[in-house]
Structure 1
Amino acid sequence: MINVGIDVHKKRCQACLKDEKGRLIEELNIPNTTEGAEQLASMLTTYGEAKIVLESTGNLWIRLYDTLNQHAPTFKVVLANPNKTRIIAEAKIKNDRMDARVLADLVRADLVAESYVPNHEIREQRALLRKRRSLVNDIVAVKNRIHNQLDKYDLQPHYSDVFGKQGREWLRNLQLPPIERTILDVNLKQLQSLEESVQAITVKIAQEAIDRADVKLLMGFTGIDYYSAMLLLSEMGPITRFPSAKKLVSYAGLAPGIRQSADHTVHGRITRDGNKYIRWILIEAAQNASRFDPKLRPFYLRVAARRGHQKAITAVARKMLVSIYHVLKRQETYHGQRDELLERKINRLQRTVDSSLQAE
């Protein structure tokens, strides 16, 4: 059994091989390409069994991780959580070679804090759902630029929605200086292109969501539609990997920070160390649930009276995630579900899927 630590970078990877007693066998520097990954995997098979650890850095690890996993059943490949691999972050001497050596020692001693690695299907779902969020943010940015142009010339639209049908017609016919007119036309074209892209992705998400029972369970929550449900499910992965609701809350970064001193324990702001996508979508959902959910509205009002709106919203998001955990774990309906609201959500989902079939 050999122990392999690999420090992954954009163009190259530094690998360190050590035996079971921690003695250095070999050090390698390979290109972070498909060919480089194949060569490393082939070389490592000559040693038989191997425990291999990579440090997760963005998406740079994916190619190498998949190649090593596919190449030999005798490999145990783990992905180290960089936030918990403190020994590397705090090292006084830092370079790729030293990092790879430390990783090899950690995996040899079974001291690696592992990151969850979703399967290929979940990774693809995450990419699609995250792309939609990114495009929606781009739409907001373009709309803000258009609003800034209108403010610059003190132009006030006579429509409640300047980006509705009549509002856009008004924007297209605005008399502006030539350069400003060109900029506005570019912004309007960009806006239309982004909206078409969002619609295409939304249809794809709806098609994947329509037959999923777990999606419909989560749609029973006020503030959660099929997009929110799909995002939560892809970011969480199998609910069985969390031994408790507390672990899931911590994974999402919604657990309050704790400071202890002598006999005092102080609960502070949320840690924000976890999955930012789960945290974001639940905070969005909590804004709605705090107003309309029959179970969560009274809870929100109690917390808001003592601690203010934002902390109350965070508390609602945390409470929702605990309920989501139990709903998925037990495969049961959310106790605050409003059947008429769920029916409207499912009908909207069905219409989105049907519209794509008609377009074909």
Structure 2
Amino acid sequence: MKYSGIDLHSNNSVVTVTDEADQVVAEKRLPNDLPKILAFLSPWQMELAGVVVESTFNWYWLVDGLQDAGFKVHLANTTAIKKYDGLKHSGDETDARYLAQLLRLGILPTGTVLPPQHRAVRDLARKRMQLVRSRSSHILAVENITARQFGTRITSNQVKRLDGDTIDEMHLPDEVALAVRANVAVITTLSSQIELVEKRLHEKVAPNPDYALLTTVPGIGQTLATVILLEVGSIERFPSVGNFASYARCVDSQRMSNGKKKGEGNTKNGNSYMSWAFIEAATFAMRYCADAKRFYERKKTRTNAVLARKALAHKLARACFHILKERKPFDVTRCFA
């Protein structure tokens, strides 16, 4: 049996093939060219137990290409892999061999390879978040300008309604007015693109019955339901509600010894987009759901506002797991019992 590890970089990859004794059978640095990598691995394809690829920013083309060629591919969860700190030498070759060794030992932390079409829609939802953040920065810039010029700050909704005439009515100095016009032009463009993206996302996720179920949860509207649905993929990949909550970064990360906290574990191991979604859901739930508000206030009296909000986000994450698993609408008595 043979094992392969690929240390993937932006423009090249180190491909290693090892045997049962962790001895290198073949190893070479290759350009990020799929036919060349397939040609290098092809002599051992029938013997390979699997090919391990790092989950770097650019893994799509390689994993999809290897799978289409008939290879069994494992996507390594790089945030959960930690090499021995006392190693005297480390490099791309040793990294590739280490991935193959973890596969041979059966202790390789892996991530889920979602279907390409699902990834495309999920990445579109992430693009929407990027556009919204960019628009917010320009809105804040205009708010700050007005605060400097007039001593009062206009609201974000007022900024979105600004046009050439309203800017003229503000009687700003020429240079300041030009700066505001530049921000407003970018805001207008971003708003139109966000609208297009949201329309396409709604077309893709609205037919899914799980989307309607998620919107029954307090604090979760169309945008958050879209993010959660696309980031989760298949709920079946989570064996328990605890695994789901951990993936959403809604649980503590700490190291304990003799009943005392000795430090924190890997806080980045999980999905940052789901973490954001459930914190946002908790914020909205406190406003519009009396039971959620009572739960939050009860927790806040024992801890503080930040931990209470995280506790509410944890509750909502657990509720979403059961909703997606059981295909039943939200039950407020079960969630906040």
TM-score by length of 1: 0.85
Aligned mates of 2:2, 2:112 — CA distance in 1? 23
Preserved CA contact (<8 Å) 2:160 2:187:
no
Q: What does residue 206 of structure 1 align with? A: 202
Preserved CA contact (<8 Å) 1:257 1:271:
yes
Deviation at residue 330 of structure 1 after TM alignment: 0.6
Aligned mates of 1:195, 1:140 — CA distance in 2? 10
Aligned mates of 2:266, 2:278 — CA distance in 1? 14
Q: What does residue 25 of structure 1 align with? A: 25
Same amino acid, percent of matched pairs? 27
Structure 1 range deviating more: 323-332 or 105-114: 105-114
SS at match of 2:25: strand
Q: What does residue 69 of structure 1 align with? A: 67
1:46 aligns with 2:43: yes
Sort the Cα spacing of 1:265 and 1:200 in 2 relative to 1 into closer, same or farther, 3 A. same
Preserved CA contact (<8 Å) 1:252 1:278:
yes
Structure 1 range deviating more: 38-47 or 226-235: 38-47
Amino acid in structure 2 at the alignment position of 1:42: A
Q: What does residue 314 of structure 1 align with? A: 310
Q: Which structure 1 segments of 5+ residues have no match?
A: 338-360
Sort the Cα spacing of 1:257 and 1:83 in 2 relative to 1 into closer, same or farther, 3 A. same
Amino acid in structure 2 at the alignment position of 1:37: L
Deviation at residue 196 of structure 1 after TM alignment: 0.4
Sort the Cα spacing of 1:161 and 1:268 in 2 relative to 1 into closer, same or farther, 3 A. same
1:102 aligns with 2:101: no
Q: Across the two proteins, how many residue pairs are aligned to each other?
A: 331
Sort the Cα spacing of 1:268 and 1:319 in 2 relative to 1 into closer, same or farther, 3 A. farther
Q: What does residue 177 of structure 1 align with? A: 173
Structure 1 range deviating more: 307-316 or 18-27: 18-27
Amino acid in structure 1 at the alignment position of 2:60: I
Deviation at residue 183 of structure 1 after TM alignment: 1.6
Residue 246 of structure 1: which of 242, 245, 256 is its match?
242
Sort the Cα spacing of 1:91 and 1:218 in 2 relative to 1 into closer, same or farther, 3 A. farther
RMSD (Å), alpha carbons: 2.5
Q: What does residue 342 of structure 1 align with? A: none
Aligned mates of 1:148, 1:158 — CA distance in 2? 9
Q: Which structure 2 segments of 5+ residues have no match?
A: none
Amino acid in structure 2 at the alignment position of 1:243: P
Aligned mates of 2:52, 2:175 — CA distance in 1? 55
Q: What does residue 297 of structure 2 align with? A: 301
Q: What does residue 229 of structure 2 align with? A: 233
Preserved CA contact (<8 Å) 2:214 2:320:
yes
Sort the Cα spacing of 1:157 and 1:300 in 2 relative to 1 into closer, same or farther, 3 A. closer
Amino acid in structure 2 at the alignment position of 1:45: S
Sort the Cα spacing of 1:131 and 1:161 in 2 relative to 1 into closer, same or farther, 3 A. closer
Deviation at residue 169 of structure 1 after TM alignment: 4.4
1:332 aligns with 2:328: yes
